[in-house]
Structure 1
Amino acid sequence: MRRSAVSIPSNIAEGKSRNSIKEYKQFVGIAKGSAAELETQLLICERIGYLEKEELSEVMGLLDEVSKMLAKLNNALAPRT
């Protein structure tokens, strides 16, 4: 779970340092995948009893905010027509 969580900002940073917007968008997409991976891991933790529903709800709310920010970043990188 830590690796998934750390992967989100790490991929954004790596994408930002690349040579093109296309590559940046690709890494934002990878960050979105890491967020989905983390969401899955959190749901599994709740199912096997490592997290209570209240804890899961709080963390999922934060992860939802991050996912929305990633979507907005991705949209901001879209080519203007």
Structure 2
Amino acid sequence: MSRGAANTEAVWPALLRRAAHMGIGPESFWRLSLKEWRDLTGAGAPAVIARDRLEDLMRRWPDDRASSQIEKTPMKGQK
């Protein structure tokens, strides 16, 4: 058995315990789709980034050539 498979198998008991704490029985747990599970647990929630951090990233790594002329300023605390 590969290391990845062993890691995956170790996750199932934790997922079942989490479902039990949420009041979801084993039969219902196994009927859930991955999307439903992520919706229930918040695992599919997008990561949140602060506005100033997003703007900094946009300045440093523009999406297209036209916007690459934007001044690339260092991040706070960098020279």
If asked which structure has higher relative contact order (CA below 8 Å, sep 6+), I would say 1
TM-score by length of 2: 0.29
Which has the larger Rg? 2
TM-score by length of 1: 0.28
